[in-house]
Structure 1
Amino acid sequence: MSGDYSIYTGKKKTFSVPDFVVFGLTLVTSAGIGLFYAIRDRNRSSSDEYLMGGRKMYILPVAMSLTATFMSALTLLGAPAEMYIYATMFWWICLAFIIAIAISSQIFIPFFYKLNLTSMFEYLELRFSKPVRVIASITFIVQTIVYMSFVLYAPSLALNQVTGFSLWGSVGAVGGVVTLYTTLGGMKAVLWTDTIQALVMLAGLLAVLIQGSIVMGGFQNAWNIAGSRARINFHDFSFDPTTRHSFWSVVIGGAFFWMSLYGCNQAQVQRAISCPSVSKSQIAMILNLFGFIAIISLCCMIGIVMFAFYSDCHPINFEKLVTKTDQLVPLFVMDILGHLHGIPGIFMSCIFSGSLSSLSSGLNALGAVIPHDLIKPFCCKNLPDKGMAILSRVIVIICGCLAIALAFVVSQLGSVLQASYTVYSILNGPTFGLFVLGMFFPWANARGAVVGCLTSLAFMCWIGFGAFVNAVRTSTSLPTSTDGCNWNVTTTMTSLTPSTVTPFTSSVEPKGSRDPFLPMYKLSYLYYTPAAMAVVIIVGMIVSLITGRRDPQTMDPRLVCPLFDRLFFCVRY
C-alpha cells in the first residue's frame, strides 16, 4: 500500500470546491422539499396534516424515514470506530434489531395505532393520570433536545478537525436548514427528505467501502489483517453485566433499547402511524429492518477496512492527525477518496444526512408533544385546530434554535459520542418502563407509575453520575501499532520512534476508588434501558399494591395490551 496518505505524509487532506458544492446541494435539496410542501399544502393547515401527514403517507418514505431517524451521524461515525477500537461484537446489534422490530411491529404499533392519538403521552393520562403524562412528556423533551444538540455538534467537530470545514458554520447551516424545512413542510417534508437522506447515506457508505477495499487489495485481505490483530470477535458470551459488549448485552440489552425507540418513542411511532392502516405500518417497519441492517453492516465493514488501513500506523494523538475516535472515519475518507474531487463531499453529505434525519424527526416529535401535552391541557383548551398547527410550527422554530444553542454547551464536554448514548439511555429507559407498566400490568395505578418513574430516573442518574465521577470503563481498547509510520516530510517534525501503542482506555476499574457501589457503576450502558424499565415495573407494582391496586374490570380495555390476557390468563382477576 502506497500513496499520499496521511500516514506517510503526516498531513491531512482538506475539502475541494466540488466537495463543498456537493454538500451544499444536499442542504438546498432538503430546504427545497420543505418549501415545496409548504406551498402545495398551504390550504391544508390542520395539525393532523402538519404532524401526521394526514395519516395517509406511503409505505416507502415511512420505512426510509424510520431507518434514517436514528441512523444519526453518531452511528455513522461511531460504529466504524467501534470495530477499530473494540472489535466486532457490536455487529450482533443486527440480531437485537430483528427482535426489537418483530415485537414493536406486532405489539406496540397496532396498540398505539388503534388509540388514534397525536401524542403517545396522551395514553399515559388515559391509563394513569395527568401528572404521569406531564412527567413523561418533560423527560422526553429534555432527552430529545439534548440528543439533538449532540447530533448537531459531534459530526461538525469531527469533520472540522479532519477536513477543515468550519465548525460553527456547519452547526449553524445544518441546524438552520433542518429547522426551516421541518417548520415549513411538517411530516411530509420530514419523510421525503429522510428518504433522500437515507439514499445519500447508502451511497456514501458504499463509496467508502468499495474504495477502501480496492486500496487494501480486497475486503477479504482487510478481514484477514483485522483477524490477525484480534479485531474479529463474535464469541464473547460472558454473562457478566459489566462486560461492555458481550453477546447478551448487545442482543438482550440492545433489543430493549431499540424496542423502546421503535415501540414507545414519539419520533418513531409518529412516523409509523402516519400510514393509512396498521398493516401498512407493519410493512414499513419490516422494510425499515432491512435498511437498518444494511447501514449498520456497511458501517461495521468500513470499520474493518479502516483498521486494516491504519493497522501499522495508528493516527490518534500521533503528530496530531486526529485526537478522538469519532474523527477516524473522516480521516480515512480523505485518505482514500481525497484525490477524487466531489466524492468526499458525498460522504460529508452522508454524515450530515444522518444528522438532518435525526434532527427533523426530533423537531417534528417536539412539535406534537409540547403543544398537545404541556400547553393545550393547561392554558389553551379551546385553541382551534388551525391555531394548534401554527403553535406546532412556532415550537419547532424555538426547539431548533435551542438545539443550536445547546451545541455550544456540548462543545465543552469530552467524548460526545459516549456521553450522548449514556444520557439518552438514562432518560429513555424510565419512560419506556411507564408504557410497559401501563400496557401489561392492569393492576398498576397512578401513584405506582409516578413513584416508579421518579425512582427509576433517580436510580439511572445515580449510576450514570457515579460512573462519570469514578471514570469507570467497562472495556479496554485493543492494542494499536505505529511501527509503519514512515513519514516522508521535509518540514520540522518530532522524532518518530516505531512502537506499539498501549490501549488509550487503560483501566477498567479506577485506581484507589473505595466506593462500595462501584460494581453498579460498571454496568454496561446497553443494560441501562432494561434496568430502568425493571425499576419502574417493580417499584410501580409494589406501590400500587400498597396504595390499592386498580381493578382491571373498571378500565377501558383498549388501554391494556391483549397480550397480557393471553400470557397471564391465570392471574387476570
Structure 2
Amino acid sequence: MAAPGDVGTFHAWDYVVIATVLIISSCIGLFYAFVGGKQRTSKEFLLADRNMNPVPVSISLVASFISAVTVLGTPAEIYRNGTMYWLICVAVILTGIITSRTFLPIFYEYEISSTNEYLERRFNRKVRHVGTFLFFLNTLLYLGIVIYAPALALNAVTGLNLWGSVAAIGVVCTFYTTIGGLKAVLWTDVFQVCIMLAGLLAVLIEGSMRLGGLTEAWRIADERDRIDFWNFNPNPTIRHTFWSLAIGGAFQWTATYGTNQTQIQRYLSCGKKSTALWSLGLAICGMVVMLSIVCLVGIVMFAFYADCDPYTMGYVSASDQLLPYFIMDLFGDRPGLPGLCTACIFSAALSTVSSGINALTTITGEDIIKSIWPNIPESTYTIIIKVTACCFGIIAMLLSYLASQSDAILQATISVFGLVGGPLLGLFSLGVFFPCVNSYGAAFGPLISLGFSFWVGVGAIIYPPDSNSPSLSTELCVEGNTTQYISTLAPSIVDDPYPKIASFYGLSYMWYGGFSWCICILFGLLISFATRHNDPKETDVTLHRPIVDAFLCCFPPKCTDVCRCGVGESETIKEEDKFKEHLRNGTYDVTVAGLSFRSVEANNTSM
C-alpha cells in the first residue's frame, strides 16, 4: 500500500492507454460510416438494417447495464454495506423472464422503430406523447451524470483533468454515434466490454494476490460482518433486503429492459424474435457474470482497507472515489496499468452515453419529426436524424456541467432514473395487461404516478433515511489528523427533529419503481372506469399479452379463460359467423382463433 492519502498520479503511458481506447472507438464509427450501406438510410442508421447477430447485441445490452455509475458505485456499495446488494442478480434474472414472455413478443408483432408506436396503436397519439415525455425525462437527466460522475471521481483521485475527461467522453461518443449509427454503437460496446472486463479482472486479481487469495479476502469480509445474503425482513423501509432487491429490483430493471427504447432498439436490430430472445438470454448471463465480478472487487477492496478506511480518514471525499483510489494504490507505480483500469470506467461511460444518444435520436425522429413531416423523403430524414444525434451529444455534455453545480445531483439523478422508470413501465403495463384501460387512464395514470414518485424522491433527499451502514475501522492507519477528518465527514446535528411525514420518505430506494408502478396502475384503472372503460371483448388481441398466456400457458383452458377477461371474444364470434357463412357459400380460407380452416365445397368441409 502506498503512503496514506498518497497514491500517485497518472504517467504518460496511462494517458496513451486511455487515448488508444478512445481512438479505437472512433475508428469503429469511421469503419461503419464507409462500409455496407454507409448509413444512407434511417433503417441502417437507427436499427442496423435489422440483421444483427445476437452475440454483439447481447454484449451491447451488458454494456448498457454496466454503466460508469455501476462500475464506481457497486464496489463502493459492497465496501460500505456488505454483499446484500449482490442479490440484485435475482432481479436481473426475473427481468429476463418477464421481458421475454411479455413485452418483447408484443413489440415484435409490428415492425416498429419506436416503442411509443405501440402506445399510439393501443391508445392514441396523445398517449404516445406521454411515453415520449417520460423517456426524454428519464434519459436526459441520466446522461449528464453518466459523463460527469466518473470524470469527477477520476479527477479527485488521479489528477485526470475534469473537463478534459468530460469533453473526451462526450465528443468521442457523439462522433462515432453520429457517423456510424447503431452498428457502430453495438460494436464499440463489444470492444468497451472487453476493456471493462480486462480492467476489473486486473483489479480483482492483483488485489486478491496482495491479500493472499480471494478466499482470504472473503474471510476478512465475513469476520467484519460484510457477508450477508439472508435478510428476508419484509419491511419496505429497510434499505436492502432480499425482497427489495429481488422484487423491487425487478420492477426497476424491467422498466429498463422491457420498455425502454434504449434496450428495445437493440432487440429490434436482430430482425427476428427468436434471435432477439437469444440475445436477451445471453445478455442476462453476461450481466450476472459482470455484476459478480464487480461485487467481488468490492469485497477485495474492503478486505484491503479493513483496518484503514480511506473514506473515514478523508483520503477520498466521496464513496464513488474509492475504486479509483484503490486502482492507484495497486498500480500507481506501474505506468500503463492505471490507464487500463481507468479506461474500464471510461468505457462504461462511453457505452451508456452512446446508447442513450442513439435511442433519443430514434424517438425524436419517429415520434416528433415524422409527426410534423409525415411524408419526409428518406434521404432528408436520414440527414436530419444524424444532425439530431450530434445535437443530443452536445446536450449531454451541457447537462454534465449542470450536474457539477450540485453536490447532491448524483443521488438525486439516480433516484430520478428509478422513479421515472416506474411510471414508464406502468404505462406499457396498462396497455399490455389491462384491456379495459382507455386512453384517459393511460394518459393521466403515469403523470399522477410521476408526481407521487417525485414527491417521495425529493422528500428522501430533504429527509434522508439512515442507511445503518456497518462501522469502518481506522485502527492501523498512520496517526495524523484523523479526528479532523472524522469530524468533517460526520453528519451535522439537526436542531429540529424530522416531521412525522419524514417516515413516509424512508421507503427504500429499491422500491421506488414498484411504488410508482402501483400508483400508475391504480389511477389508470380508476380513471378508465370513471370515463367509460374499454370493453375487453372488443379489443385487438394482438395488442395484449394476458398474464395467463405469458406465465400460466400450461394450465388447462378452463382455468385460464376466466383470467383473460373476455379479450377478443367479439372478434372470435365474428370469425365463427364468417366461417359458418362460408360453409353455406362455397370454397374459402379463413382463420378462427388461430386455427386455419378450409372448405372444399359447400357441403363437404374439412378442417
Q: What is the TM-score normalised by the length of structure 1?
A: 0.93
Counterpart among 432, 445, 456 of residue 463 in structure 1: 456
Conservation of the 8 A alpha-carbon contact between 1:444 and 1:549: yes
Confirm or deny that 1:230 pairs with 2:214. no
5+ unaligned residues in a row in structure 1: which ranges? 488-493
Confirm or deny that 1:348 pairs with 2:332. no
Aligned to 1:154: 149
Moved more, 379-388 or 70-79: 379-388
Counterpart among 251, 254, 264 of residue 269 in structure 1: 264
Counterpart among 188, 210, 214 of residue 215 in structure 1: 210
Aligned to 2:71: 76
Counterpart among 28, 32, 40 of residue 45 in structure 1: 40
**What CA deviation, in whole Å up to 9, does each residue of 1:136-183 have, x standing for no partner?**
111211211110101000000000110010000000011000000000
Aligned to 1:203: 198
Conservation of the 8 A alpha-carbon contact between 2:192 and 2:347: yes
Counterpart among 295, 316, 331 of residue 322 in structure 1: 316
Conservation of the 8 A alpha-carbon contact between 1:480 and 1:503: no
Alpha-carbon offset, residue 423 of structure 1: 1.0
Confirm or deny that 1:391 pairs with 2:375. no
Aligned to 2:519: 535
Confirm or deny that 1:368 pairs with 2:368. no
Aligned to 2:277: 282
Aligned to 2:540: 556
Alpha-carbon offset, residue 465 of structure 1: 1.3
RMSD: 2.0
Q: Distance in 2 between matches of 1:415 and 1:328?
A: 18
- What is the identity, as a one-letter code, of the residue corresponding to 2:237? T
Q: 1:80 to 1:151 in 2, by over 3 A?
A: same
- What is the identity, as a one-letter code, of the residue corresponding to 1:477? S
**What CA deviation, in whole Å up to 9, does each residue of 1:3-41 have, x standing for no partner?**
4x143xx31311111111111011001110111111114
Alpha-carbon offset, residue 486 of structure 1: 2.1
Aligned to 1:491: none
Aligned to 2:477: 485
Q: Distance in 2 between matches of 1:15 and 1:202?
A: 21
- What is the identity, as a one-letter code, of the residue corresponding to 1:62? V
5+ unaligned residues in a row in structure 2: which ranges? 553-559, 567-607
Q: 1:109-508, aligned counterparts within 5 Å?
A: 109-316=104-311, 318=313, 320-377=314-371, 379-470=372-463, 472-486=464-478, 495-496=481-482
Conservation of the 8 A alpha-carbon contact between 2:178 and 2:390: yes
Conservation of the 8 A alpha-carbon contact between 1:474 and 1:524: no
**What CA deviation, in whole Å up to 9, does each residue of 1:182-203 have, x standing for no partner?**
0000010000000011111111
Q: 1:185 to 1:311 in 2, by over 3 A?
A: same
Conservation of the 8 A alpha-carbon contact between 2:113 and 2:268: no
Q: 1:538 to 1:480 in 2, by over 3 A?
A: same
- What is the identity, as a one-letter code, of the residue corresponding to 1:526? M
Aligned to 2:505: 521
Q: Distance in 1 between matches of 2:16 and 2:513?
A: 41
Q: What is the TM-score normalised by the length of structure 2?
A: 0.88
Aligned to 1:59: 54
Q: Distance in 2 between matches of 1:370 and 1:388?
A: 11
Q: Distance in 2 between matches of 1:503 and 1:480?
A: 16
Counterpart among 97, 101, 113 of residue 102 in structure 1: 97
**What CA deviation, in whole Å up to 9, does each residue of 1:477-500 have, x standing for no partner?**
22111121127xxxxxx545699x
- What is the identity, as a one-letter code, of the residue corresponding to 1:201? M
Alpha-carbon offset, residue 295 of structure 1: 1.1
**What CA deviation, in whole Å up to 9, does each residue of 1:196-235 have, x standing for no partner?**
1111111110000000001111111111111111111111
Q: 1:551 to 1:478 in 2, by over 3 A?
A: same
What is the aligned-residue identity percentage? 43
Q: Distance in 1 between matches of 2:488 and 2:235?
A: 22
Q: Distance in 1 between matches of 2:350 and 2:83?
A: 28
Q: 1:329 to 1:514 in 2, by over 3 A?
A: closer
Aligned to 1:544: 528
Moved more, 441-450 or 554-563: 554-563
Number of equivalenced pairs: 557
Q: Distance in 2 between matches of 1:36 and 1:298?
A: 32
**What CA deviation, in whole Å up to 9, does each residue of 1:420-451 have, x standing for no partner?**
32010111110110000100000000001112
Q: Distance in 2 between matches of 1:465 and 1:208?
A: 36
- What is the identity, as a one-letter code, of the residue corresponding to 1:224? R
Conservation of the 8 A alpha-carbon contact between 1:473 and 1:505: no
- What is the identity, as a one-letter code, of the residue corresponding to 1:569? D
Alpha-carbon offset, residue 317 of structure 1: 5.3
Conservation of the 8 A alpha-carbon contact between 1:113 and 1:278: yes
Conservation of the 8 A alpha-carbon contact between 2:312 and 2:489: no
Aligned to 2:20: 25
Q: Distance in 1 between matches of 2:3 and 2:291?
A: 27
**What CA deviation, in whole Å up to 9, does each residue of 1:252-286 have, x standing for no partner?**
00111111111111000100121131111111111
SS in 2 for 1:115: coil
Aligned to 2:590: none
Conservation of the 8 A alpha-carbon contact between 1:69 and 1:358: yes
Alpha-carbon offset, residue 502 of structure 1: 9.6
Q: Distance in 2 between matches of 1:197 and 1:308?
A: 28
Q: Distance in 1 between matches of 2:461 and 2:222?
A: 33
Conservation of the 8 A alpha-carbon contact between 1:128 and 1:446: yes
Q: Distance in 1 between matches of 2:13 and 2:267?
A: 37
Q: Distance in 2 between matches of 1:159 and 1:105?
A: 38
Q: Distance in 2 between matches of 1:276 and 1:134?
A: 26
Q: 1:408 to 1:273 in 2, by over 3 A?
A: same
- What is the identity, as a one-letter code, of the residue corresponding to 2:475? D
Q: 1:153 to 1:257 in 2, by over 3 A?
A: same
Q: 1:516 to 1:331 in 2, by over 3 A?
A: same
SS in 1 for 2:310: coil
- Relative contact order, CA 8 A, sep 6+: which one is greater? 1
Aligned to 2:29: 34
Moved more, 427-436 or 461-470: 461-470
Structure whose alpha-carbon radius of gyration is higher? 2
Aligned to 2:601: none
